[in-house]
Amino acid sequence: MAWVNYHSHSLYCDGKAFPEDYVNQAVEKGFPAWGYSSHAPVPFASMWNMPSEKLPEYLEELTRIKSDYSGKIQVYKGLEIDYIEGLWGSRQSGLINLPIDFTIGSVHYIGQLPDGSHFCFDGQPEGFFKGIELLYQNDFRKAITTYYQAEMRMAEVDNPDIIGHMDKIKMHNAFRPYLNEEEKWYVSLVEETLEVIRQKGNMVEVNTRGLYKHMPPLLYPGKWVLERIHRKKIPILLNSDSHHPDEIDSGFAYAAELLLGIGFQSLRVLIDGKWQDKAFDKNGLLF
Ligand SMILES: [Zn+2]
Ligand SMILES: [Zn+2]
């Protein structure tokens, strides 16, 4: 019994190990396939995106690993590409034309701060609340709406294979509550976003990073969103967003049980160069 995972970060961006360390761990655990998805470059200085001058080396290194490990595990080359409204996306940047096997589209930046820097909400809570104050005058509804509007535009314009951590804007809620997910406006916003995703045919990843990094644990997207995804028959896959080789399937057993409880019967996997649906139980994919 084994898993697959296509969302991982190495030393080329903000991950903690060499790309090869991850594939070795995946082979060890009997994974049939493994995917790399470093944070693609953005057009400004960033702590965690890959600098653009490293991109050719990243692609070459993955090509080498792909060939060195053929016969042992299928290796896929991907990128997690930022969508930044009005500024950046896989199409606007041309990153979509690179020789890669898949793209994860994610929104991490939702505006520009008074000092000109780009506001990444996906950092420490202090920075998040400061940014919302400076940029949105503490109007959380406005900030959250901006986030989902960017998600919708990303699905429409960039049409990535995978929508990354779809409701991550909720991540700091336990630190200081700013979002009640039961409020009507929020439910409608999520519904509207899912409808765009359904029409565009993107896959939504079930991202387990919040299960092993946050207290209390968080799954992206959460259970009620997953129930709606199930009703809409939007394809899902399980990704751990690993930044360390020890995290390649962290949280998968928990998430798989929850998905089975909702009624999901299969997960989408990239095997033999083709996205396909595979049955699963809490211990792994069923081949
Ligand atoms: Zn991300
Ligand atoms: Zn990521």
Q: Is residue 262 part of a domain?
A: yes
CA of 198 to the centre of ligand 2 (A): 22
In a domain, 208, yes or no: yes
pLDDT of residue 1: 80
Mean pLDDT for all residues in the chain:
98
pLDDT value of residue 277: 98
List pLDDT tens digits, range 147-202. 999 999 999 999 999 999 999 999 999 999 999 999 999 999 999 999 999 999 99
Q: Averaged over 203-218, what is the pLDDT?
A: 96
Burial state string for 126-161 with b = 16 or more CB within 10 A and e = fewer than 16? eebbebbeebbeeeeeebbbbbbbbbbbbbebbbbb
Report residue 114's pLDDT band, with 50, 70 and 90 as the boundaries.
very high
Average pLDDT over residues 244-252: 98
**pLDDT (tens digit, 9 = 90+) per residue, 30-43?**
999 999 999 999 99
Residues around ion ligand 2, judged by CB within 5 A, are 80, 241
Show the domain range for 159: 19-285
Q: With 0-12 CB in 10 A as exposed, 13-18 as middle and 19+ as buried, what is 202?
A: buried
Share of the chain above pLDDT 90, in %: 99
- State what percent of residues in the chain have pLDDT above 70: 100
- Cα–Cα distance measured from residue 279 to residue 267, given in angstroms and rounded to the nearest whole number: 6
Q: Which two tokens stand for residue 250?
A: 């962290």
- The enclosing domain of 36 has a CATH number of 3.20.20.140
The structural domain count of the chain equals: 1
Tell me if 5 is assigned to some domain: no
**2 located within any domain:** no
Tell me how far the alpha carbon of residue 104 lies from the centroid of ligand 1, in angstroms.
9
* The predicted structure's pLDDT at residue 118: 97
Q: Is the pLDDT of residue 115 over 90?
A: yes
Q: Give the Å distance between the CA of 8 and the centre of ligand 2.
A: 6
52 alpha carbon to ligand 2 midpoint, in Å? 17
Q: Is residue 6 part of a domain?
A: no
1, part of any domain:
no
pTM of the model: 0.98
Q: For residue 160, how far is its CA from the centre of ligand 2 (angstroms)?
A: 14
> How is residue 102 written in tokens?
């898949």
Residue 166: partners with Cβ closer than 8 Å, 6 or more residues away: 151, 193, 204, 205, 207, 220, 221, 225
- For 47-74, write each residue's pLDDT tens digit: 999 999 999 999 999 999 999 999 999 9
Answer yes or no: is 257 within a domain: yes
Q: E strands of 51-199, at which residues? A: 74-82, 102-106, 109-112, 118-120, 162-163
Expressed in angstroms and rounded, the spacing between residue 162 Cα and the centre of ligand 2 is 12
Distance (angstroms) between ligand 1 centre and the Cα of 87 equals 18
**pLDDT above 90 (res 259):** yes
Of all ligands present, the nearest one to the C-alpha of 105 is 1
Assess if residue 12 is contained within a domain.
Answer: no
79/98 Cα distance (integer angstroms):
10
**Per-residue confidence (pLDDT) for residue 101, from 0 to 100:** 98
Q: Per residue in 86-107, pLDDT tens?
A: 999 999 999 999 999 999 999 9
